[in-house]
Amino acid sequence: MALMTGEQYIESMRKLNLQVYMFGKKVENVVDDPILRPSLNSVRMTYDLAQKPEYEDLMTATSSLTGEKINRFTHIHQSTQDLMNKVKMQRLLGQKTAACFQRCVGMDASNAVFSTTYEIDQKYGTHYHENFKKFLTRVQQNDFTVDGAMTDPKGDRSKAPHAQDDPDMYLHVVERRPDGVVVRGAKAHQTGFINSHEVIVMPTISMREADKDYAISFCCPTDAEGIFMIVGRQSCDTRKLEGAPMDTGNPEFGGTEALVIFDNVFIPNDQIFLNGEVEFAGMMVERFAGYHRQSYGGCKVGVGDVLIGAAALAADYNGCSSASHIKDKIIEMQHLNETLFGCGIACSALGTKTKAGNYLIDMLLANVCKQNVTRFPYEIVRLAEDIAGGLVVTAPSEIDLRDSKIGPYVDKYLKGISAVSTENRLKVLRLIENLCLGTAAVGYRTESMHGAGSPQAQRIMISRQGNLEMKKNLAKAIAHIEE
């Protein structure tokens, strides 16, 4: 089975023994929990669309390992066209879910680890690349969802991993055995871990010799012994428990973040991809970050499409869509959104082949892409809130609308144009609230800032990749400056 259906994916998740905690209690049924289920539905969409012939070119690929048809989320990029198709696929899924669909992290981790392990083996004669290829073959054949875990809690940012007061602030090896290692620590902000079958763990920063025990990369099942998850709190999350789906804004889809604890987890040797080769930690980090910053030129654009559409609908329902300033604001939203998409496509089109044979995006443009993502969605959100009006944050609940006594008053006084029901007007306003302020802010607004690294992380990479000396020489040549 190289391609699962959405329903098969849901049933496969039921078979896992995930240890998930939320609001101080263990979640006994992770799949059907009303707060968590929308995030599972978002991942399901990556399976459902792969079954549709009209999306085959974007959602599937031919495996370079097995020759089989596979989901693109398990694919190793074989060309710049693959890189561009990835971004187009992510935009499509953003349009279909208006949420984080969570499989991007594992895809980006897979491509980073694939090329990095090849180069480690070349230098040290290790077997990490073969380990990874065996793992990925199994993932492709079973169509598993894989999470990528990079971000450590970090503790005191002024101190290196080995110098932390608490050594567990960065995930590290605590015991070495002939058959593998035992690791302890945590990974924060883990998008989709709860909805994944497997995880690829990577270091979070470049390291030196003293941090050797922290230079560790491996894979393991998400329900491995010693792993448990603490679900992150989201704004408006308990609205899903109120029996008023309209108030959630996006009743079917969502995203989930978790703090994942690795409490003395055993990792067999054949699941290890980096183990103490500190000089390659930085390569793995930078390549993953580059791929993931490319991703934001797709997924955020797709969700942006939904938000732009919702703002335009709100203008229609408010009766002001013909106003010139409203038209201009929507044009600006589209301009910003398409600029992000252009960055995602550009860094893909200028990708290059690695020593391992897969394709790496243009690192400079990938970081420029994500730097823009830390800014443009905030302006898109501001304009959407401007167009929608204050009712986005003052509207009564769906329960009030349905109430026999006060409902008619809500219906009467919150109506916009006569051709559209008050209910539909409130639905689109709740969607805007969800995308700009609520639970989807994790998958759009706030994640645009911190996902795939903070803005300063991209600026550091732009500085490294920008080739400033070359630009100085260009100026000297034009001005006939000789030194």
CA dist 406 and 411 (Å) reads 9
C-beta of residue 284 within 8 angstroms of C-beta of residue 332: no
Helix (H, G, I), strand (E, B) or coil at 148: strand
Q: Alpha-carbon torsion 138, 142, 143, 146, what sign? A: negative
Greatest CA separation for the chain: 85
Find, among 407, 299, 274, the residue nearest to 42 by Cα: 299
Point out the catalytic residue in the list 296, 317, 359, 444. Answer: 296
Is 291 one of the catalytic residues?
no
Annotated catalytic residue 296: yes
Residue 299 catalytic?
A: yes
Residues in contact with 220: Cβ distance below 8 Å, sequence separation at least 6, in sequence order: 198, 199, 201, 227, 265, 267, 271
Q: Is 292 a catalytic residue?
A: yes
Which is catalytic among the residues 219, 220, 299, 436?
Answer: 299
Nearest C-alpha neighbor of 24 from the set 193, 234, 189, 233:
233
Q: Which of 117, 151, 191, 439 is catalytic?
A: 191
Give the 3-state secondary structure of residue 274: strand
Active-site entry in 189, 197, 292, 374: 292
153 burial (CB, 10 Å; 0-12 / 13-18 / 19+) is middle
- Active-site residue, from 9, 75, 100, 398: 100
Could you confirm whether 75 is annotated as catalytic? no
DSSP string, 276-302: S-GGGHHHHHHHHHHHHHHHHHHHHHH
Which is catalytic among the residues 47, 77, 104, 204? 104
Give the chain's end-to-end CA distance (angstroms, integer).
65
Tell me whether residue 104 is one of the annotated catalytic residues.
Answer: yes
Q: Are 115 and 354 in contact (CB under 8 A)?
A: yes
Catalytic choice (198, 257, 385, 398): 257
- Distance of alpha carbon 403 from its chain centroid, rounded? 39
Six-digit token string for 16: 């896992």
Q: Which residues are catalytic?
A: 100, 104, 191, 257, 292, 296, 299, 447
